A = this chain, B = another copy of it.
Amino acid sequence: MDGGIGDRHIGDISTPGRLAESGEGISLEELALATRNHGLPLEALRYDLTPAGLHYVLVHYDIPAADAATWELTVRGRVRTPLTLGMRTLTSYPAATQRVTMECAGNGRARLTPRPVSQPWLVEAVGTAEWTGVPLRTLLADAGVAADAVEAVFTGADHGVERGVEQDYQRSLPLPVATGGDPEVLVAYAMNGRPLPPQHGHPLRLVVPGWYGMAQVKWLRDISLTDSPFTGFQQAVAYRCRQSADDPGEPVTRIAPRALMIPPGFPDFMSRARVVRPGRVRLEGRAWSGHAPVTRVRMSTDGGRSWSEAELAAPDGHGWAWRRWQASWTATPGSHVLSVRAEDAEGHTQPLDQPWNRGGFANNLVQRISVLCLRDG
């Protein structure tokens, strides 16, 4: 795989991860990822359920050409009865629907110093949808889990090279997570009541409520139970929080709490800075955590020097989805920096200084929105 071609190797086009130099602008390679993938335009925080084209999307390789009519999911490895399931069979199982907020593990990466060079998210790699599918534990019960199974490995149909390694996209879950009831992992075939769009895994994907996006394997074609932990690239090399290149690091799992605000007023096209008129401005947004329900949202209009409580909407029974919050602000002429900060029932909160690691993962630094309040009239 890694042999030379004349003077050309796969390593020439697929280089190790690196950190941007001080003052180094975004590269054309990072821009190519930003142009393919996209975040949630923050005004779309207004929708309880994010329309498909506004939900964040990250695709590691290409969106596969997938045909639901011939798609097959295999369930194999440490099971009693291997299964091969077409879409007609899968949709005949009792279905479950869950409202889930998903966030990319790399959200916020492009604002880190130094900046890990990868998909350059600012702060908007999030979205909420209702996913419908078969509970994974139902399929595993049908296949019969062997006593020595410890993990389930999920393989997608997307194929590419990453940091020199040719691969299908693969991730695993510990068996207790894969068969758990809260969150209940879904093998999903519908998003907001319609077949999955191509970029969200058509025709089949995994949905792991509360976990970052890397766990939500798209274009799912195989589930294999193993008797030892999976050591594939996306598990053992990528998606680990490392402080240095030789640090084994901690795996990225559940979503750290975050609140985001719909930027008030109206924007400047180029700077995206916001403009408001003096007087009462309603501030609103969403807050979520993959650890436990969000219990508190605080808001600052002076760049984080002082904080006040925002009003959090009552729980709506969707424990794995964001909660709406709102607050009121009396804008006065001049420049302001607005921030918002979530806290969950386990006491996790958002740091005021950047939490840094070499991959730029699980960074939930508070949002900062620059607002210019004009004089009246």
Contact = CB atoms under 8 A, between A and B. Distances in A.
A161 B6 CA distance: 54
Nearest to A117: B270
A36 B35 contact: no
B110 A29 contact: no
Contacts of A198: 44, 47, 51, 54
A13 to B, nearest CB: 4
A65 interface: yes
B26 A30 contact: yes
Q: Report which residue of A43, A57, A263 has the largest number of chain B beta carbons within 10 angstroms of its beta carbon.
A: A43
B39 A269 contact: no
A333 B124 contact: no
B32 A122 contact: yes
Q: Which of the listed residues A8, A160, A269, A372 has the most CB atoms from chain B within 10 Å of its own CB?
A: A269
Contact of A118 (B117, B122, B166, B270): B270
Contact of A43 (B47, B63, B163): B63
Contacts of A28: 26, 110-111, 122
Interface residues of A, number: 79
Given A268-B161, A374-B10, A375-B5, A36 B30 contact: no
Contacts of A118: 270
A189 interface: no
B13 A375 contact: no
Interface in A1-38: 1, 3, 5-6, 8, 10, 12-15, 24-38
A53 B57 contact: yes
Nearest to A4: B375
A197 interface: yes
A332 to B, nearest CB: 9
A46 interface: yes
A58 to B, nearest CB: 10
A41 interface: yes
A372 B27 CA distance: 21
16 contacts: A5-B333, A5-B373, A5-B374, A6-B333, A13-B273, A14-B270, A15-B271, A26-B27, A29-B270, A30-B31, A31-B34, A31-B110, A36-B39, A52-B52, A161-B269, A161-B275
Interface of A: 1, 3, 5-6, 8, 10, 12-15, 24-39, 41, 43-44, 46-47, 51-55, 57, 59-63, 65, 110-111, 117-118, 120-122, 124, 159-163, 166, 197-200, 263, 266-273, 275, 333-335, 370, 372-375
Q: Lowest 4 A-B CB distances belong to which pairs?
A: A25-B25, A53-B53, A38-B38, A26-B26
Given A8-B334, A13-B370, A26-B27, 5 more contacts: A5-B333, A15-B270, A35-B38, A44-B198, A163-B270
